[in-house]
Amino acid sequence: MADPVIVVGAGPAGTRAAQRLVQAGLRPVVVDENERQGGQIYRRQSENFSRPAEKLYGAEAARARALHTDFEALRPHIDYRPGTMVWGVAEEGLLTVRDRAVATLPFSAIIIASGATDRIMPVPGWTLPGVYSLGASQIALKAQACAVGGAPVFMGTGPLLYLVAWQYLRAGVKPAAVLDTNSLATRLRGLRGMMTRARVLAHGVRYMAELIRAGVPLHTGITPARIEGREDGVTAIVWQDARGRLRRTACDAVATGFGLRAETQLADLLKCDFVFDRRFTQWRPRVDPDGRASRANVYLAGDGVLLRGADAAETAGRLAACALLQDRALPVGTDEIADLRGILATMDRFAEGIASAFPWPAHMAAALPDDTVVCRCENVTAGDIRHAATALDSPEINRAKALTRPGMGRCQGRMCGLAAAEILAAARGVPVEQVGRIRTAAPLKPLPLDCTVTP
């Protein structure tokens, strides 16, 4: 029997990809790092929680419920491996680990739907206890019904900033402030693109309106100066307002994020070609419009390749599955593919609107004080990276990594890599794409040394 198709990730993209494969009579293996299907936006709460979908997902409750119930219907038709981390690629197959058991999964094709993480811009004090990524603060709320603080500040940029602040407000935690590094004028630049999906745009406007009505201060065009705190946690954030005045907001937690970064490591291990995507100012695997990577039998869908959000991920997951079926000469309607492409074209324009409304503040990396920690695993500062750039003459990020260690630690640069590249590029006076990207190596995430190998 031929090796199965593996779908990596059971969020919106992975779920819809698996569903389309099952509809075509295939039985894919679905590997998901989470214990429960749903991904990040439609993350499910733990089994012993019973909050209604409306409370968890707000306006997206119906979509969330559909994604969850459709997946439950798939269960008998797939080889589902929850709580399983993909950590490497060998000739024998995809290497996974669950608890401490390593498995080798041969595959004939793979659809990667690995999602994204927050994109982090370091700020002095960001390594204090009480500073969370936006995504982490959202996980705490959704999965565990916990708040990261009683008076959190949401600082960074992007639609998620307002969504999570609003979710906290709805959960009974009033944010101390929402601080957006982008100005309203910048946001208007993305308006045309965002208008392509008026319903989604309306949700965003509603979140902001409700935050304002509840008395949450929303500030735009800010520049964070530092996060203050003691060993036991955050006490305040100091920031510069749009007019250049230094201000201080007392808080007991900071949730921060500057848009998203695609989780592209698996495609890198599979030796897929990468391109620098100017819209999202980051490297990503090169794909054709349907999600085919540069290597045969490798497909990508969702925010793990193109940061277009959860709705687009569902469409792209299905389309990637169609591409795979088409490549195997299995029956797929050309109408279906054309329809999916059409939907994605709109999503593309919307995503570009979002990207230009909430651009990554690359200039902040260049302005970071030398003593700011950038790589928190290895305690590498902005000054260390600049030293690598100048005195040690590192022309690209892997050289800087070899000489001064940014990205050498547990996260392998997943958290700090993009900011480190900006600092290096600024210090060298070159565009960020010229300093490259941190090379991926197995294990994709830390692998216990006492794991057992099942043959």
Partner 1 sequence: MNDFARDPVRADVIVVGGGFMGAATAFFLRTHGLSVILLERDLIGQAASGTNFGNVRRQGRYLPQLPLAHRSRDIWGRLPELIGEDVEFLPSGHLLVTTRSDDGARLEQYAVDCKAWGLDLTMMTGDQARAMFPMVGPEIHTVSYSPHDGHANPRLAAPAFGRAARRAGAHVVEQAPVLSITKDSTDFIAETADGRVYRAPMLQVSSGAWGRKMAALFGEDVPMAPQGPQMGVTEPMPYRVAPVIGSASSVTDEGVYLRQVKRGNIVFGGGRRSTADLETKRARLDPMNTLRQMPQLARLLPAIARLRVIRTWSGVEGYVQDSLPIMGPSERVSGLFYAFGFCGHGFQLGPGVGATMAELIATGHTDIPLEPFRVGRFQRNAANAAAYSPHA
Give the distance from CA 400 to its chain's centroid.
24
Of 75 and 410, nearer to partner 1 (C-beta) is: 410
402 forms part of the interface with partner 1 (CB under 8 A): yes
Task: Decide: is 409 part of the binding site for partner 1 (CB under 8 A).
Answer: yes
Q: What is the DSSP letter of 72?
A: H
Which one of 102, 225, 343, 366 is in contact with partner 1 (CB under 8 A)?
Answer: 102
The only residue of 92, 99, 232, 335 in contact with partner 1, by rule CB under 8 A: 92
- Give the sign of the dihedral formed by CA 384, CA 129, CA 258, CA 289: positive
Shorter beta-carbon distance to partner 1: residue 366 or 447: 447
Q: Of 88 and 359, which has the nearer Cβ to partner 1?
A: 88
Given a contact cutoff of 8 angstroms between Cβ atoms, the answer to whether 86 and 96 are in contact is yes
Q: Looking at 1, 2, 338, 449, which residue binds partner 1 (CB under 8 A)?
A: 449
Residue 83 contacts partner 1 per CB under 8 A: no
Q: What is the widest separation between alpha-carbon atoms in the chain?
A: 68
Q: Does 406 bind partner 1 (CB under 8 A)?
A: no
Bridge partners (DSSP) of residue 282 are: 277
Of the ranges 20-28, 255-263, 272-280, 398-406, which one interacts with partner 1 (CB under 8 A)? 398-406
CB of 107 to partner 1, least distance (A): 15
Taking CB under 8 A as the criterion, the residue among 22, 30, 56, 89 binding partner 1 is: 89
Instruction: Compare residues 269 and 307 and give the one whose CB is closer to partner 1.
Output: 269
The answer to whether residues 300 and 320 touch, using CB atoms and an 8 Å cutoff, is: yes
Q: How far is the CB of 47 from partner 1 (least distance, A)?
A: 27
User: Which segments of 91-151 are extended strands (E)?
Assistant: 93-98, 101-105, 109-112, 116-118, 131-133
Burial of 294 (0-12, 13-18, 19+ CB in 10 A): middle
- In 170-252, the DSSP E strands lie at 177-180, 218-219, 223-230, 233-240, 246-250
- Would you tell me the crossing angle of helices 61-74 and 12-23 to the nearest 10 degrees? 40
Give the nearer residue to partner 1 in terms of CB position, either 193 or 407: 407
Judged by CB under 8 A, which of 32, 378, 384, 422 binds partner 1?
Answer: 378
Rule CB under 8 A: say whether 451 interacts with partner 1: yes
Measure the CA–CA gap between 242 and 219, rounded to whole angstroms. Answer: 8
The least distance separating partner 1 from the CB of residue 410, rounded to whole angstroms, comes to: 5
Query: Does 430 interact with partner 1 (rule: CB under 8 A)?
Result: no
Looking at 13-21, 36-44, 256-264, 400-408, which segment touches partner 1 (CB under 8 A)?
400-408
User: 131: Cβ–Cβ under 8 A, 6 or more apart, which residues?
Assistant: 125, 227, 234, 253, 254, 255, 256
Which range, of 14-22, 125-133, 315-323, 444-452, touches partner 1 by CB under 8 A? 444-452
Instruction: For the CB of residue 100, give the shortest distance to partner 1 in the complex, in Å.
Output: 10
For residues 48 and 454, which CB has a smaller minimum distance to partner 1 in the complex? 454
Contact 86, 8 (CB under 8 A): yes
Q: Which residues, at least 6 apart from 370, have a Cβ–Cβ distance to it below 8 Å?
A: 381, 382, 383, 386
Give all strands (DSSP E) within 222-338, no chain letters: 223-230, 233-240, 246-250, 253-258, 260-262, 274-277, 282-285, 298-300
Q: Of the candidates 58, 189, 399, 430, which one interacts with partner 1 according to CB under 8 A?
A: 399
Min. distance of Cβ 29 from partner 1 in angstroms? Answer: 19
Contact (Cβ atoms closer than 8 angstroms) between residue 3 and residue 108: yes
87 binds partner 1 (CB under 8 A): yes
CB of 90 to partner 1, least distance (A): 5
C-beta of residue 97 within 8 angstroms of C-beta of residue 87: yes
Interface residues with partner 1 (CB under 8 A) are 87-92, 95, 102, 378, 392, 395, 399, 402-403, 408-410, 412, 441-443, 446-451, 453
